[in-house]
Amino acid sequence: MQVQLSHPARTVEVKGPKKVKELLRELNLVVEAHLVIKGDDLVTEDEMLYDVDQIEVRPVISGGNQAEAEVEAKAEQKPPTDSSSTLT
Amino acid sequence: MNCTKCKTKAVIGLPRHNAAFCKGCFNGFVHDQVTRAIKSEKMCGKEDRILVAVSGGKDSLALWDILLKLGYRADALYVNLGIGTYSEQSHAKVTKFAEAVAASHGATLHLHTVEQEAGAGIKELAQLIHRPTCSTCGTIKRYQFNRVAIEQHYNVMATGHNLDDEAARLLGNVLHWQEEYLDKQGPSLPASVEGFAKKVKPLYRLSERELAAYAVLNQIDYIVEECPMAKGSKMLQYKEVLNRLETESPGTKQMFYWGFLEKQSKKQPTATTMTEKDRAVLHPCTSCSQPTTAEICSYCKMMARASAAKS
């Protein structure tokens, strides 16, 4: 099956049939940090995937926010910032 | 795997809740979690004017979508940071959502472009003032978000911080023993002084994976690419560690963050104490009048340094 991955964007070929959780394990990806999309549908970890399927494994993590700024400010021994929230 | 509630085919399993849901029941679960967060933390009411900080990512667009569907009066602010194609794409996603979804609820999108005011994008600004980009970005976003809220008379500012964001931030603060930040890690911060709007995080009960699933299931077109400035950030490392723990032991993230909140709530009446603390140390910036602990706020200092470096 064709599996589309991100960060960086690439496509890999994986032999089916296999369950979603087996696919993630084979790709060394953590379930909690990814969604698996078959065609246009979200699928659960026990779903069986076949060679004809078009699969996207989408990472769900985004980062770089106030905690990062605070840790960096501390590392530089700078004073704390004025307030505590930012955009995500 | 079948839906725990209606027994039809599930689209997502939630090990931390020992449950699985179909699309309809999952949307109900997400809306219920946000409603519980808003009510338990007294974040806002249907009469409040809410300003949502949107970035084009899944969390902030999902938050805007959820608040509108729950019947809240929520407009949004997008800050264009000027990070090349990343900002162009995220701006396009926000505009698309505002026109296709938010407009039908009578909601408005506000826009602030960093380059227009500062004369440079975020990366160039950070280089000019010799500060990390994420730190510069945080200062600008906080400042502009609060400025628009105050100027446009919004009484609540909402951000898309989720359970993963808060757990990772808590881990970072604990690892570095930054106890001074722990008081402000709650999901609802009061409008402690004049010039500050109330800040809330209605998504703190939902994980990043659940919010990505909500966006996919509801055809919310968000920017999947990571911000190029955040690559290798400590936050991403903390999240990775927490997700490995979560996969092995479901519920770890919520036990860590919600447990912290529970301990904090028993320790002190947070809102009052925080308000008192803020009132003791904050006063208007002599340049722009926004509250600050110094004579001139960090945003005005930053802009002055950038201006001096350019000339």
Residue A33 domain flag:
yes
The pLDDT tens digits for B80-139 are 999 989 999 999 999 999 999 999 999 999 999 999 888 888 888 899 889 888 888 989
Percentage of the residues of chain B whose pLDDT score is greater than 70: 98
Instruction: Tell me which residues of chain A have a C-beta less than 8 Å from any C-beta of chain B.
Output: 6-7, 30-35, 37, 41-47, 58-74, 79-88
Residue A87 domain flag:
no
The mean per-residue pLDDT over the stretch B72-86 comes to 94
Residue A60 domain flag:
yes
pLDDT of residue B167: 97
CB distance A62 to B121 below 8 Å: no
Domains within chain B, CATH numbers bracketed? 23-310 (3.40.50.620)
CB distance B72 to B44 below 8 Å: yes
The mean per-residue pLDDT over the stretch A4-19 comes to 93
* Closest partner CB to B181 (pick from A34, A70, A72): A70
pLDDT of residue B232: 75
What element of type H or E holds A75? helix A66-75
Average pLDDT, chain A: 79
Kindly list the residues from chain A whose CB atom is less than 8 angstroms away from the CB atom of residue B297. Answer: 82
Q: Which of B40, B69, B54, B158 is nearest to B110 (CA)?
A: B54
* Closest partner CB to A63 (pick from B13, B213, B239): B239
The mean per-residue pLDDT over the stretch B283-297 comes to 89
The pLDDT tens digits for B16-65 are 999 999 999 999 999 999 999 999 999 999 999 999 999 999 999 999 99
pLDDT of residue A87: 41
- Alpha-carbon distance B131 to nearest alpha carbon in chain A (angstroms): 9
Is A81 close to B142, i.e. CB distance below 8 A? yes
Beta-carbon count within 10 A of A78 CB: 14
The secondary structure of B155-176, three-state, reads CEEECCCCHHHHHHHHHHHHHC
DSSP state of B296: S
Residue A80 domain flag:
no
- Name the more confident of B260 and B185: B260
* Closest partner CB to A88 (pick from B160, B234, B297): B160
* B183 burial via Cβ count (<10 Å: 0-12, 13-18, 19+): middle
Among B243, B289, B297, the strongest candidate for a mutation testing the A interface, having the largest count of A CBs within 10 A, is B243
Number of domains in chain A: 1
B292: its two tokens: 């600050």
Kindly list the residues from chain B whose CB atom is less than 8 angstroms away from the CB atom of residue A72. Answer: 132, 134-135, 234
Q: What is the ipTM of this complex?
A: 0.87
What sign does the dihedral B158-B159-B162-B168 (CA atoms) show? Answer: negative
Is B135 close to A74, i.e. CB distance below 8 A? no
B168: its two tokens: 């990772």
Residue B310 pLDDT > 80, yes or no? no
Residue B272 pLDDT > 80, yes or no? no
Is B11 close to A80, i.e. CB distance below 8 A? no
Residue A82 domain flag:
no
The pLDDT tens digits for B211-261 are 999 999 999 999 998 888 887 788 889 999 999 999 999 999 999 999 999
* B238 burial via Cβ count (<10 Å: 0-12, 13-18, 19+): buried
DSSP state of B226: P
| B92, B114, B283 from B196: Cα distances, Å | 29, 21, 11
- Chains A, B: CB contacts within 8 A come to 191
Beta-carbon count within 10 A of B112 CB: 18
Is B185 close to A84, i.e. CB distance below 8 A? yes
Q: Residue A76: closest CA among chain B residues belongs to which residue?
A: B131
Distance (Å, whole) CA B59 – CA B65: 10
Let me know the angle formed at the C-alpha of B86 by B84 and B92, rounded to the nearest 5 degrees: 105
Q: Euclidean distance between the first and final Cα of chain B, in Å?
A: 63
The residue range of the domain holding A54 is: 2-75
Is A65 close to B58, i.e. CB distance below 8 A? no
Is B176 close to A63, i.e. CB distance below 8 A? no
B251: its two tokens: 């519920």
- Alpha-carbon distance A39 to nearest alpha carbon in chain B (angstroms): 12
Q: Which of A2, A4, A22 is nearest to A14 (CA)?
A: A2
Tally DSSP H helices, then E strands, for chain B: 13, 10
Residue A63 domain flag:
yes
Residue A57 domain flag:
yes
CB distance B78 to B217 below 8 Å: no
Distance (Å, whole) CA B176 – CA B187: 21
Largest CA distance in chain B: 67
pLDDT of residue B269: 60
CATH number, position A39 = 3.10.20.30
* Closest partner CB to B55 (pick from A45, A79, A88): A88
The pLDDT tens digits for A26-82 are 999 999 999 999 999 999 999 999 999 999 999 998 865 443 344 334 443 343 333
Q: At B145, which amino acid appears?
A: F
* Closest partner CB to B142 (pick from A31, A46, A86): A86
Residue A52 domain flag:
yes
Is A59 close to B224, i.e. CB distance below 8 A? yes
Is B233 close to A45, i.e. CB distance below 8 A? no
What sign does the dihedral A76-A80-A82-A85 (CA atoms) show? Answer: positive
